[in-house]
Structure 1
Amino acid sequence: MPPLTQTLEQVRAEIAENSGWVARSDGRLVGAIRAVEDGELLLIGRIAIAPDMQGEGIGRALLDAAENASAASEAELFTGSLSEANIRLYESCGYVETRRVPQDDGTEQVFLRKKLGPRT
């Protein structure tokens, strides 16, 4: 996974092509998420929470914001197999593991999906 290795142009392209939400605490940026709809599938991209703010419900709130803003019928995200806290969070939010993709370093990318209810 390529976190924090993108060029400025790649970041600009992502911003232009995706929706995004942020969380702030007293003006400080403490979390962010990006997502894009691909037909009936909401593809949730990077979720980042400030290390000192993890466990405060920010990730859950950002996931809710992305899901509630979408007209898609299902959402998908992925994380690394060593990211056990992330996997627990996603499962507690209703995501179910659908597949694992082996990586060259012996880890796996873990894909999870969640059915999204009808939007009103």
Structure 2
Amino acid sequence: MSRRGDLFDPLCPTRQLLDRIGTKWTSMAVRVLAQEAPGEVRFADLRRRMPGISQKMLSATLRSLVRDGLVARRVEGSVPPRVYYRLTDLGLSLEEPLAALRAWAEQHMAQIEEMNLRYDAAPGD
């Protein structure tokens, strides 16, 4: 299936995909995994390198990335099992656009915060 998405079509799954890849947790997970590419990262190491994420949220984020084919998951049959994650080629192709978005956010955060303060201080409409 090589159908191209259309963001402006209300029925197009592109909207759901953007919801998933546009989160801070996805951006952070892709960044951490890209830093190790082509290697793998254990779940506990990912969590340690993503301050503020809960185990439940990291599990959900990784599950959706695996489902979308952006991340590969490997379970080592030890006791307890060790679980490793790595970016697929498709996932690695996502790092560049996400890196640009992260850079933009970091570069403009002070301006955005200033605009938020001005807006919040202004009398209501």
Give the shorter-chain TM-score range: under 0.3
Q: Which has the larger radius of gyration?
A: 2
- Where is the helix percentage greater, Structure 1 or Structure 2? 2
- Where is the strand percentage greater, Structure 1 or Structure 2? 1
Q: Relative contact order (alpha carbons < 8 A, sep ≥ 6): 1 or 2 greater?
A: 2
The normalised TM-score by structure 1 is: 0.26
